[in-house]
Amino acid sequence: MQTNFNQTQLSDPATRTSNEILRSCVHCGFCTATCPTYRVLGDELDSPRGRIYLIKDMLENDRVPDDATVKHIDRCLSCLSCMTTCPSGVNYMHLIDHARDYIEKNYTRRWDDRALRWLLARIVPYPQRFRWALTAAKLARPLRRLVPDARLRAMLEMVPESIPKVSNNDRPQVFPPKGERRKRVALLIGCAQRALNTDINDATIRLLTRHGCEVVVPKGIGCCGALTHHMGKAEESHAMASANIRALVRELDGGGLDSIVINTSGCGTTVKDYGHMFRNGPIAADAERVSAIARDVTEVMADIGLEDAGHADPLRVAYHGACSLQHGQQIRAQPKDLLKSAGFDVVEPRDSHICCGSAGTYNLLQPAISQQLQSHKVATIEAVRPQLISTGNIGCMMQIGSGTELPIVHTVELLDWATGGPKPRGLSKLRSGRPARRGG
């Protein structure tokens, strides 16, 4: 793609990077075939190629974003399926991130949109605040049909039936390995996940220590910054990310770390990108050190190998590959291979590359599109007649789980169970046999 940025514009590192990304696009349109919003809406401007044209025009002309441009950019899930499909290697992730940052700085949203985004940025990344908000929302949930704003109704629909107690495992501490130490790893404990499902971190710690890992929960660790980053709030997201970098570097320079283990794939995609995010700043070297050893928990376990993995029931598991895992991190085989080696019958639904509609706060900000994607995802999962669903991202668990009666648990919970841990609480309502297909 030909671009026409002037030298003053190219003196800005973000614009210079976007220029390089735009020039790598060859207009082939392969991305449209795998873009969820294009499939749902059928509008070229709601495809990656269409958004690329909008971003190019906006950035080249230093233009104040108009309502139409913002609408189409906001509709992007950042599922990154287009990056998997693209034959030219267009780094759409960095381009859309720059566009959102530009919009945040140059566009005045309607008051209610500003208020909602401000609220989400101030609550969701902070576990204690999020717990309070969930408790209040749970009381208001019976009245959700009376709420006129679809986005607020979506928030009330998201509230789980029960809010788990705070896990003591999420406090800064060190968990010794069982037997000889193989690795020393830091666990990124997440933010929203700590309020929504504490079983995931608990299972991760048990699984890792059982396989010879010393697990460190570093002091000062918190939200990775992904939630605010995807809303274009760069200063807030970078502040959270830099706090994590400082905390992790202290461990690197102290007891040392073999890996930084992440069990929320949306966080993993962001942490692995810290090196790019801070490439022009004073902590560039430290950020790159952190990114270089960031690993999804299934990457770590695939490297170690499961031991004594015969304790779980051989259930039929539908595996859902979270977009941030299969597209953002290009991790596809390891989770399925681990589940198979643990004795599960693993099946994958049709259109497994298509997003479920969660995408961080997307299901709260774009509930209509999100609902359509959820319905499609649930239908394709139920069509393969599993007994349960497994995935590696809390957002996907909440999104898919609210649309089906099938139990859904984190992949690490199943691996923990298979190697001697407790049966996941999420399987307490597991049905015997396999569910029938819809309509049959």
What span, in angstroms and rounded, lies between the C-alpha atoms of 432 and 49?
A: 46
On whether the CB atoms of residues 175 and 202 are closer than 8 A, the answer is: no
Supply the pLDDT for residue 432.
Answer: 55
Q: Which residues contact 317 (CB under 8 A, 6 or more apart)?
A: 339, 344, 345, 346, 347, 386, 387, 388, 389, 390, 414
Beta bridge partners of 260: 186, 294
Q: Which two tokens stand for residue 138?
A: 């749970």
Beta bridge partners of 388: 317
What span, in angstroms and rounded, lies between the C-alpha atoms of 422 and 403?
A: 26
Picking from 382, 400, 383, the residue whose alpha carbon sits closest to that of residue 321 is 400
Exposed, middle or buried by CB within 10 Å (0-12, 13-18, 19+), for 143?
A: exposed
Picking from 328, 321, 361, 265, the residue whose alpha carbon sits closest to that of residue 81 is 328
3-state SS class at 198:
coil
In tens, the pLDDT along 376-411 reads 999 999 999 999 999 999 999 999 999 999 999 999
Give the predicted TM-score (pTM) of the model.
0.92
What span, in angstroms and rounded, lies between the C-alpha atoms of 407 and 390?
A: 9
Supply the pLDDT for residue 439.
Answer: 37
Supply the pLDDT for residue 153.
Answer: 80
What span, in angstroms and rounded, lies between the C-alpha atoms of 423 and 414?
A: 8
Ranges in the chain, pLDDT < 70: 431-440
On whether the CB atoms of residues 32 and 51 are closer than 8 A, the answer is: no
Distance (Å) of CA 284 to CA 249, 280, 289, 290: 12, 6, 9, 10
Picking from 113, 104, 112, 326, the residue whose alpha carbon sits closest to that of residue 230 is 104
Supply the pLDDT for residue 438.
Answer: 42
Q: Which two tokens stand for residue 426?
A: 């999420």
DSSP letters for 385-398:
--SEEEES-HHHHH
3-state SS class at 360:
coil
What span, in angstroms and rounded, lies between the C-alpha atoms of 262 and 297?
A: 6
Supply the pLDDT for residue 151.
Answer: 82
Q: At which residue do the structure tokens 């209040």 appear?
A: 136
